[in-house]
Amino acid sequence: MTDPIILPNRQKLNWITTVVLVLLHIGAVAALFMFSWRVFAVTVFLYWMTIGLGISMGYHRLHTHRSYQIPRFLEYFFAVCGSLTLEGGPIFWVATHRLHHQKSDQPGDPHSPRDGAWWSHVGWILLGETNHNNTRMLSKYAPDLAKYPFYVWLNNYHWVPLTVLGVLLYAMGGLPLFLWGGCLRVVVGLHSTWLVNSATHMWGRRRFETRDDSRNSWWVALLTFGEGWHNNHHAHPSSARHGLAWYELDHSWILISVLKFFGIAKSIKVASIRSESAAQEAA
């Protein structure tokens, strides 16, 4: 791989990204002074739609690992939900995560805690030269998505859906709804996803002896609809089910099971907790 997705440069701050994140955090703090149950309910729903459907079920289990299949229109909808998190377009997200699995906690991993806890959580975003919009280069890592014009467009203009949502939130609920459903929701979603990169490679239990430092974390799983069962996931990357034990709550797996019941989700891949060793599956 000759075209790295992340070019680490610890001496050069990505000012555009930094300013946007600072403003979002200021807006998130301001939102706390404009609480109402109405804006709280809308924010919780949007958080589920964007992190639950968009990142967990969409960008991660569906688009990256192809753990299950759903109709194309629903796949596109999940991708739009993912773009509402400010985590980049689908081709960028998938390419970055596939590289993470290939190089997990080894040289070349975009966000390993072995390079520092702060780096794995947010440093790689602030100090890395991130090729969000270099769709041609990213397509080498995600050719299955790049063959669809919709994914190419969404990767190039991943900021459009979030901008439209921000305008709608302000129009429907003024500044309080904008700050809660926009700023606070995005900030909490970003940190929750980043915790999968950082916390679940540092703290928690290991069921499988994988070649990386991945761990299972119940509290990260609660924040991310099941993504915190990270050691299970690294042992079986293509499994749609991450919480393998009955006590490992995996909201996304429950919803995938519901979609299966109604005949919407098909070709579902599921790992077994009885596996004695981690399957060395290609991400």
* pLDDT, tens digit, 9 for 90 and up, residues 163-183: 999 999 999 999 999 999 999
Confidence tier at 89 by pLDDT (50, 70, 90) = very high
214-272 confidence digits (pLDDT tens)? 999 999 999 999 999 999 999 999 999 999 999 999 999 999 999 999 999 999 999 97
Which of the pair, 204 or 129, is modelled with greater confidence?
204
Side-chain-side CA neighbours of 197 within 13 Å: the count stands at 27
112-116, 151-155, 273-277: segment of lowest average pLDDT:
273-277
The 8-class DSSP code of residue 246 comes to T
Helix (H) or strand (E) holding 176: helix 159-178
Written as one letter, the residue type at 80 is: V
Where exactly are the structural domains of the chain? 6-201
For residue 276, pLDDT over 50 is answered with no
pLDDT greater than 50 at residue 97: yes
Predicted TM-score (pTM) of this structure:
0.92
Residue 209: the pLDDT is: 96
